[in-house]
Structure 1
């Protein structure tokens, strides 16, 4: 078995790339690795097919530690702070309190998150041209329904295979309720944290909840590294900083909607809770993604216009950060004159050098879909998923935000009815739970 996102020889190329993107001088470490016979090319899938020789594995562990010890660039540290007070130094927008339709908006957020995630699940990891080819071959382009393999040309199917875990339960002809996904598991854990500890939970409480509620095989990339480091005895406040090349990836951004849903109209508090959660596994832009989504969610459940939702998210992100710039680029394209496909192509030309699970490319795509979708649920989730990269995660966040703005009663039945108000999950206590029950529990926590 080749476990992904954990083998030292597979982590090191990702760590070299992360250091390069941060402007840290990793050239000497790269030279030592390649001269020893190691490959500098990151494995996209997270695991090479065969284990490296033991001398390379030992060297990789050493070099990962040396990369952690490289000095930070002072300009980057100033532009992208990790201290909470420094991040939240600016003020947020004034928001209206939620109305009597608040619980319907919560249900819309849960259902929207599920539908957007489900739409993206079967094409997760596929290249952009593969998503377009499959959709066109089945008469579903531009996207206007869940993916299907009915009528799919065998040649296209062979060239662009579905995500193997999602094909049995996420194609239109197979959907029977919402299947398990980490994009839904983490909101369940956030809800559990708030029910157990209230708004005063700590990063240590988040760590304990993961160890109590999540099998190790249900966490990936930065979360898997932090999970392993917790088991290795590192404190929660440092577990995400050790030999972790994925701190700027998307994992924390998928975990924090509930902090916004339970703090309606209060983006700053939602962002503080998101920071407390995200710092277990992420840093800098990975943390900003978590804070952006939490703050935007706090606005969305008040029924605010999508422009206000985006502004609320940006109000808790340092304007000098790469995350802020990525969101602004997505908004620019979303509000511009390029066609949908041409705008997405422009994003891929600018951000295509990043791994498909990185936070920056996916943040730009999310912002594009939100801006061009203009609050329309179906338009937004189909734009988000048809843009590629981390399709289920971006689809989930886009669906949650526009689902909250729309409210459950206004969501198109053809996207919601297949969910059958049921969610599969391995998180204890949530197997077969109802979205309507989750909305009621979320409303109770918000009080």
Structure 2
């Protein structure tokens, strides 16, 4: 029996009820119908419960998911967190950015930084904060100063906090042999494919077709998997994000749009527009803003702007009264405060720990904290990002990409880049045998 995660209707209802609560939509009557029928309101963290629900309950789940889709949004939510591009960018005012220089080195730095940050976070993805700290301390790697290892790891700690199953064979220091496949690197390849094939005028329909052509359904997760399923069910791309999708405010879109910024250096609004076109296939509101923030920040980073300016560029394309903007501002404020690193991260977890570990808001706050406190130091930034927990590989990747772009490839620490061996293993068609050097060159060509 296959219990495919992020698709089972009885498992989606608890997530959808929580999404409604966070949005301020009144789902009390729907919740009552669900619990009266025997449905659970505990959302499965891993995306699927071990056993299927009885068919009558599954049928009710599908009905209630549709009812949840029809709940009206509060007026304040509509005003503060619009989905349409026009209202989102109406007040965009990016900071003045320097003239881009040495783009080849900065784009390569972005690719290598993204890979190194992702690789650092891969083995501890899904492991709670206390587990990450226990593993690192047990192996003499705390504060983090290198890739994770299991050499010297206390067996009791290993049993309590097992490594990410898929990443352990490829992502521990003793196993690294080039950059292994990861969705945080595959999605930028899809973005590059879109620009190479269609140019900057690509549409959301083009994004949908690229997914169907290049990505197996098993390689996408949460909101992306829901959108993929909806496409196969005949839902048009401009509606695929809105049908039975409780993950629209999660992190998936934020991990796939850096490249749009790399190809629009010094043009954060243009980069954010490309990101919105991509992200709207699967996300809404804060999920969209995460994608736009990452693209705009990346556009500033490849100019060599300061971290403060990069963060300002990212925030310039995000609605000021949105929850996303508040999360980024909170991360920046904590970075500027007097709390030591661990205490500041504990404060973030106290404030945002009620959210799922791949929600966009908690991870955005952590990303902003790592970037601001890292202040352009690549080593410090990626270790802060990953040691903060939650979606470790994704936050590590975005933090690494932005800081790598600011730093440039030549100045990146060899202890982080040498194990990559300038190689990325991917199953995305058209990118077999990819080297980061070649990907950077193709990225620059797509910028023209």
TM-score normalised over the length of structure 1: 0.99
* Long gaps (5+) in structure 1: none
Q: How does 1:270-309 map to 2 (within 5 A)?
A: 270-309=271-310
Structure 1 position 420 matched with structure 2 position 436? no
Give the distance between the partners of 1:142 and 1:432, measured in 2 at CA. Answer: 34
Structure 1 position 39 matched with structure 2 position 40? yes
Query: How far is the alpha carbon of 1:429 from its aligned partner?
Result: 1.6
Query: How far is the alpha carbon of 1:105 from its aligned partner?
Result: 0.3
Give the distance between the partners of 1:215 and 1:417, measured in 2 at CA. Answer: 30
Structure 1 position 50 matched with structure 2 position 51? yes
Query: How far is the alpha carbon of 1:85 from its aligned partner?
Result: 1.0
User: Where does structure 1 differ by over 2 angstroms across 4 or more consecutive aligned residues?
Assistant: none
Q: How does 1:105-120 map to 2 (within 5 A)?
A: 105-120=106-121
Aligned residue in 2 for 1:131: 132
Aligned residue in 2 for 1:390: 391
Query: How far is the alpha carbon of 1:432 from its aligned partner?
Result: 2.3
Aligned residue in 2 for 1:98: 100
* Long gaps (5+) in structure 2: none
Give the distance between the partners of 1:221 and 1:240, measured in 2 at CA. Answer: 11
Give the distance between the partners of 2:312 and 2:378, measured in 1 at CA. Answer: 18
List per-residue Cα deviations over 1:74-96 (Å, max 9, x = no partner).
Answer: 11100001111111112211212
Aligned residue in 1 for 2:80: 79
Equivalent position SS for 2:439? helix
Equivalent position SS for 1:152? coil
Give the distance between the partners of 2:28 and 2:353, measured in 1 at CA. Answer: 23
Query: How far is the alpha carbon of 1:15 from its aligned partner?
Result: 0.2
List per-residue Cα deviations over 1:219-274 (Å, max 9, x = no partner).
Answer: 00000000000000000000110000000000000010010000000000000000
Query: How far is the alpha carbon of 1:151 from its aligned partner?
Result: 0.3
Give the distance between the partners of 1:379 and 1:256, measured in 2 at CA. Answer: 23
Aligned residue in 2 for 1:154: 155
Q: How does 1:14-413 map to 2 (within 5 A)?
A: 14-90=15-91, 91-99=93-101, 101-413=102-414
Give the distance between the partners of 1:93 and 1:346, measured in 2 at CA. Answer: 29
Query: How far is the alpha carbon of 1:431 from its aligned partner?
Result: 2.4
Equivalent position SS for 2:211? helix
List per-residue Cα deviations over 1:37-66 (Å, max 9, x = no partner).
Answer: 110010000000111110110000000000
Of the structure 1 ranges 106-115 and 428-437, higher mean CA displacement relative to structure 2 is found in 428-437
Aligned length: 446
Equivalent position SS for 1:158? helix
Query: How far is the alpha carbon of 1:430 from its aligned partner?
Result: 1.3
Give the distance between the partners of 1:145 and 1:276, measured in 2 at CA. Answer: 37
CA RMSD of aligned residues (A): 0.5
Query: How far is the alpha carbon of 1:188 from its aligned partner?
Result: 0.2
Give the distance between the partners of 1:161 and 1:431, measured in 2 at CA. Answer: 31
Give the distance between the partners of 1:71 and 1:408, measured in 2 at CA. Answer: 48
Give the distance between the partners of 1:285 and 1:342, measured in 2 at CA. Answer: 26
Q: How does 1:4-19 map to 2 (within 5 A)?
A: 4-19=5-20
List per-residue Cα deviations over 1:195-238 (Å, max 9, x = no partner).
Answer: 00111000000000000000000000000000000000000000
Query: How far is the alpha carbon of 1:427 from its aligned partner?
Result: 0.4
List per-residue Cα deviations over 1:299-331 (Å, max 9, x = no partner).
Answer: 000111111110000000000000000000000
Give the distance between the partners of 1:258 and 1:152, measured in 2 at CA. Answer: 37
Query: How far is the alpha carbon of 1:97 from its aligned partner?
Result: 2.2
TM-score normalised over the length of structure 2: 0.99
Give the distance between the partners of 1:97 and 1:216, measured in 2 at CA. Answer: 41
Equivalent position SS for 1:150? coil
